[in-house]
Amino acid sequence: MTTPAETGTGLRAYLALTALISPLCPLILRRRLKRGKEDPARWSEKRGRASAPRPDGPLIWLHAVGLGEVMALRGLIAALHAARPDLSFLVTSTARSSGGVFADNLPPRTTHQFLPLDLAGPVTAFLDHWHPDLAVWSEQDLWPRLVHQTHARGIPLALVNARMDSAAHRKRARMRGMLRDTYARFAYLAAQDDATARHIRDLAPNVTITTLGSLKSGSAPLPDDPRERADLARHLGARKLWCAASTHGADEAVVLAAQAMRHRADPAALLIIVPRDPDRRESLASACAAYGLPYAMRSCGELPKPGDAVWIADSFGELGLWYRLCPVAVIGGSFGQVQGHNPWEAAQLDCAILHGPNTANFAADYTALAQAGATIPVRDAATLNAALDRPDLIEMATQARILQSNSAGSVARTSTALLDLLGDG
């Protein structure tokens, strides 16, 4: 592991710059507040000012950027807790949307906070308050000052579930020197796939990194309220349901065109569409109207009427409900440039999985699902409409669930490695 004295030029320049602009932290956050990018009740957490006490005993700090990444940590936290019931957990995230939903689904002995800005004052305040015994970073959201200062305090660092595609690698190559020094401070690194491992080794040739697969395949199932699900199932009756999850504009153009075909042929067909950003509800409603599709809006308390073709599920944290209600799900982000979202949440809940052609974010995952006969790629509205009528959708869902169960060993292996780093506390 690199020592603080070996800090290279790139990282030294970054640390110096962030020290200079640290006094601007309140101004930066107020601007973000005005733009709706921060939670007004919790924005002081971004300044390193904790809104909760540090629990007694050993504390593992885990960080992931957004809602999907944070929810994927629940399975790892459960495994760590089962092995060491004395552990407490601090989970940080960056995206505003992650805070409320994760707070409603906290694992045992877990506290959520927003990650402080990577500036000298907030970082010092954050580490002074929490002083974790182990720091675990997930996927690809790394902040050099936080990593550097954590390491300087003698706190072991791990990077798990690392993900870096070719496009991300090209961008990061411009910061090769700083990233080499940052990665070198991690005592343990594990990648989702071999391509990520190669990209990190290119940026930091001296690190040791292993490939363990995706933690998302072994995360705990998304929650829902069984009573609400039963009520909705009674209301929807025998309607033919399908779901489009975590959608963006390019996805919605395809799924709404497919639903227009289905609704003309069978008015009982109902699409439950879950936009990645619920604030896009108005543009999605306009798109439904443009396709001549009557719709209901979840956030307005509306239930689909018999003539409605689309139910806009514009709320956070309810994918577990929609996946349980629908036998088939189209995973969003896969028809445009987003490059796909997590398929395993649907696989866990017995959904047949369909997706568009662009899945680079989860390339290894979709390849494994395809090889197991557990997913179908579609190109456009016509091929999607045809796929929704395939007779083998139930078999596909079964294969996806089996593959997900078999892939969950990455959580156990990661948990063991982290406990080895932590030691006896």
Active site residues per annotation: 69
CB 45 within 8 A of CB 113: yes
Which three-class secondary structure state does DSSP give residue 243?
A: strand
Burial code (b: 16+ CB inside 10 Å, e: under 16) for 32-47 equals eeeeeebbeebbbbbb
Which pairs from 390-396 meet CB under 8 Å and 24+ separation? 393/327, 393/328, 393/352, 394/327, 394/352, 396/352, 396/353
Amino acid at 229: R
* Token digits of residue 358: 């662009």
Q: How far apart are CA 323 and CA 208, in angstroms?
A: 38
Q: How far apart are CA 151 and CA 196, in angstroms?
A: 23
DSSP labels for 21-40? HGGGHHHHHHHHHHTT-S-T
DSSP labels for 255-286? HHHHHHHHHHH-TTEEEEEEESSGGGHHHHHH
DSSP labels for 169-213? HHHHHTTHHHHHHHHTT-SEEEESSHHHHHHHHHH-TT---EE--
From edge to edge, which strands make up the β-sheet containing 328-331? Answer: 295-297, 310-312, 269-275, 240-247, 328-331, 352-355, 375-377
